[in-house]
Amino acid sequence: MDVRAARAAGRATEYCGIGPMPGSGDNLTAWHHMTGEFRGRSFGCFEYRYANPLSGSGRAGGSKKLTFESVFLVSAPGSGPFLQVGQPGRMDTLLGRGPRTLLGVPEFDDRFRVGTHDDPFARNLLDGELRAFLLSDDRAPKNPLRVRDDELFTWYTGTLSPQAVEERLNYLCDVLDRIPARTWAAG
């Protein structure tokens, strides 16, 4: 059964530090919040909205433009340490993204940035089939991945749509289908 709420006060707070979410917060609202089951896995998704401090008129009392972030998560079969896979950027160091884990596969290392606190976990997770999938699937460059405990996340900037929900949840399930079971046991 899917649970839906147009506005779920406080529900987004538990996801602070994930992708586009602020590092901390209190009583953050999840808009269009949904939970349920998808392809046999528990899922959640929501839209997070905030006033972008860099937008607006710049005048005192001028309104700021709302930024919309859509966040998706699917339950993983086990727990793992912090791991994030995304596009490398010139501002990584400036933004405090920390050191990068290189897998020693130039094609992958050039196209993706892996951040983790556990190199062996990252190498197990990105071994073989998943690495090949991320290199060949057109969705991978546009959908960063984040492991937090027993959940796998992706996100994008923009409003939540029914099509995006199905596309992103399918992508997360496709990723999980390619992670060897031994990875979760080692995490």
One pLDDT digit (tens) per residue for the chain, 187 residues: 467 889 999 999 999 999 899 999 999 999 999 999 999 999 999 999 998 776 555 556 666 789 999 999 999 999 999 999 998 876 544 444 566 788 999 999 999 999 998 999 999 999 889 999 999 999 999 999 999 999 999 999 999 999 999 999 999 999 999 998 888 876 5
d(CA 38, CA 166): 9
pLDDT at 187: 57
d(CA 94, CA 149): 27
Which H or E run contains 45? strand 41-51
- DSSP 3-state of 137: coil
Confidence (pTM): 0.89
d(CA 115, CA 148): 12
Q: Are residues 101 and 131 in contact, defined by beta-carbon separation less than 8 angstroms? A: no
d(CA 154, CA 146): 6
- DSSP 3-state of 167: helix
Question: Both tokens of residue 108?
Answer: 């992958």
pLDDT at 186: 62
User: How many CA atoms does the CB half-sphere of 60 hold within 13 Å?
Assistant: 0
The stretches of the chain forming alpha helices (DSSP H) are 106-111, 119-125, 129-136, 162-177, 181-186
pLDDT at 100: 78
pLDDT at 96: 47
pLDDT at 57: 53
Render the burial of 77-104: b for 16+ CB within 10 Å, e for the rest: eeebeebbbbeeeeebeeeeeeeebebe
